[in-house]
Structure 1
């Protein structure tokens, strides 16, 4: 019989079996899922961009008013 695939929860590192029995996968729980979402909302996580592309298209945006 095949051994089920197990991954690490990105938030706490707990093992998570990859399958229908783990509806929050890759997270171990809804709590860990929401912690990660909060980190993205607080801009603690970011996807790196390309500075050349950012500079190329930045003039297309209206100036920001703070």
Structure 2
């Protein structure tokens, strides 16, 4: 059984399989239109705040330190 989905951009039917290079989009054009929407912030993934705990300066500093430890490309060269 093959799965048919609608292109998120133009609603054209797309077969969901390995040969459908741009799935879930029907074409490179529709894929790039969607990418442009994300780049222009036309699409967003919003999430509500998970906690009622207010962030303190110490908490933000600790988060920043942890982020910098795990992402060396933000560290200044020595």
Report TM bin, short chain. Answer: 0.7 to 0.9
Compare the two structures and name the one with the higher helix fraction: 2
Q: Displaced runs of 4+ in structure 1, greater than 2 A?
A: none
The alignment's TM-score, normalised by the length of structure 2, stands at 0.62
| Structure 2 portions without partners, runs of 5+ | 62-78
Structure with more relative contact order (C-alpha pairs < 8 Å, separation 6 or more): 1
Give RMSD over aligned pairs. Answer: 2.3
Rg larger in structure: 2
| Structure 1 portions without partners, runs of 5+ | 62-66
> What is the number of residues matched between the two proteins?
58
The alignment's TM-score, normalised by the length of structure 1, stands at 0.72
